[in-house]
Amino acid sequence: MRWTPLSPPTGEAFAIVRKLLLERPRGFQDLLRSGLAEHPSSHNPRPAQEPRNPRRLSSGRWAKQANVTYVPEGHPFVSSNFLKHRILPILQTHGLVQKKARIRIPWPETVPEEDRPEFAWFITPPREPQSTDSSTFIPNESLSTSSSDTTLSDPSSIPSKLRKSRESSSMGISDDHVDGPTKQKWDAEEHWDRLVKGGHPAILGGEVKELAREGLQDAKEERLSKIGERRTEGEGHRTERMEPMTEREMWEWKDREPGLTTRLERGHLNTRRQNARPAKERREREGWGVLQERVQSWMGRGKRGDFQTRAESRDGSGHRSGRKTFGMK
């Protein structure tokens, strides 16, 4: 039997999910049954709830069997499995809906405590901007990256206590990371409308990922430039608390001093060599600087001046003054 891929969800299915979740957060079963009630179908006379035998023989033992919710033929949900594994994951990947535990969901006061399931789906709340500047939003939390502390081999250029930073957000990047009014802004309402009107989820998902990737790249470049400026300002600004760099950011930093390794680059060494490597690299760098100055000073004089100096140091016999001549009178 030849396998054929399933067709993508229709815009009507996205519209039903959006309408139900705008009312209040719902569990999966509540979302499924409410969706069936929103779109009654007469193609299949089979009822939505069909009770089955409460007990059945399974592996030699009697076990309970719960009621099964059937989706009528022609319904946009297609089936409960299609709703769980296709429709909701697409919306979650696009950053439009989220699934969290009951204690982490902003429930409205009209929903009683006993009607709140352990886990529920809800519309992703809009992120409030921190300033009036334009920002590039990242709709998917999984597309963002987390950063960890790291240090250069120069212990004096970085404070001893470094705070951990995390560049993740459920809806976007902070406004201070991105500058300029020309940055494209992700709009959840517009994205919902495009899905409901029949936009292909794969194409829209690609646009979301590309926009998120651009936002992360702009944020990283802005962050590196700010940290680099603060690191190169001089010793007078060392007392100011500086934001740490990740290992990858430090490798990509264009103003990074050559010859200095990071913590992960020294991971193959033992503890004694790891602790001694920063000082060794600093000594080698200082020695190389002195040697480079000598080479530049020698090259600055030129070959002609060097030959003139040598000629002046020779006597009339063709030998350098101050040296003994053996076998010559």
CA–CA separation, 150 vs 154, rounded Å?
Answer: 12
pLDDT in the model for residue 309: 53
In this structure, is the dihedral angle defined by the CA atoms of residues 14, 17, 19 and 25, taken in order, positive or negative?
negative
pTM, to two decimals = 0.53
DSSP 266: G
Polymer length in residues for the chain:
329
Tens place of pLDDT per residue across the chain (329 aa): 455 567 889 999 999 999 999 999 999 999 999 999 888 764 455 554 555 555 555 565 665 556 677 888 888 898 889 999 999 999 999 989 999 998 888 888 888 888 899 999 999 988 765 443 444 444 554 444 333 344 444 444 333 333 333 333 333 333 444 344 455 677 889 989 999 998 898 888 888 888 888 888 888 778 777 766 665 554 444 444 556 667 676 776 667 777 788 888 888 999 999 999 988 988 888 877 777 777 777 777 655 455 455 555 555 555 555 555 455 54
CA atoms within 13 A on the CB side of 103: 0
Q: How far is CA 248 from CA 154, 252, 277, in A?
A: 17, 6, 20
CA–CA separation, 138 vs 161, rounded Å?
Answer: 30
pLDDT in the model for residue 27: 92
pLDDT in the model for residue 228: 65
CA–CA separation, 175 vs 181, rounded Å?
Answer: 11
CA–CA separation, 65 vs 254, rounded Å?
Answer: 64
CA–CA separation, 17 vs 223, rounded Å?
Answer: 38
**Amino acid at residue number 236:** G
**Measured in whole angstroms, how far is the alpha carbon of residue 157 from the centre of its chain?**
27
Nearest Cα to 105, choosing from 124, 79, 130, 92? 124
CA–CA separation, 138 vs 239, rounded Å?
Answer: 34
Are residues 99 and 121 in contact, defined by beta-carbon separation less than 8 angstroms? yes
